[in-house]
Amino acid sequence: MRNAHAAYTHAYRVKRLEEQTGTWHKAKRLAEYVTAVRERATSLTPGHELTEIKEWLTFAEAHLQELINTATTPTLPMPPTPSSADLAPLLAQQAFANRTSPHSQMRP
């Protein structure tokens, strides 16, 4: 049972790590895009289009900051308490591994 809990915790943390990595990549791509839009805005003359781009930049930069904060301050997550249904596949895997292990065949 302890091994199933450890496997559940590990799987949960790997999933969150992959999500954090995805958020980091998303923030990086968005930062590049925001920079390109900002550079484009410098060539525009005052008017409706420039006003809309400035409003968009305000929104996009705020959203980008949220992503950056999430991606650059990772924490080691504690998984929720697993249910019996969460542990069942892990316990089944362990039972199968124990039956097929060469060590389980060796009996004095």
pLDDT for residue 72: 75
Contacts 24+ apart (CB under 8 A), 35-44: none
Burial of residue 27 (number of CB atoms within 10 Å: 0-12, 13-18, 19+): buried
Per-residue pLDDT at 27: 93
- In the chain, what are the domain boundaries? 2-99
Walk along the chain (108 residues) and give the pLDDT tens digit of each residue: 678 888 888 989 999 899 889 999 999 999 999 999 999 999 999 999 999 999 999 999 999 999 888 877 777 888 888 888 888 887 787 776 666 555 555 544
pLDDT given for residue 98 in this prediction: 67
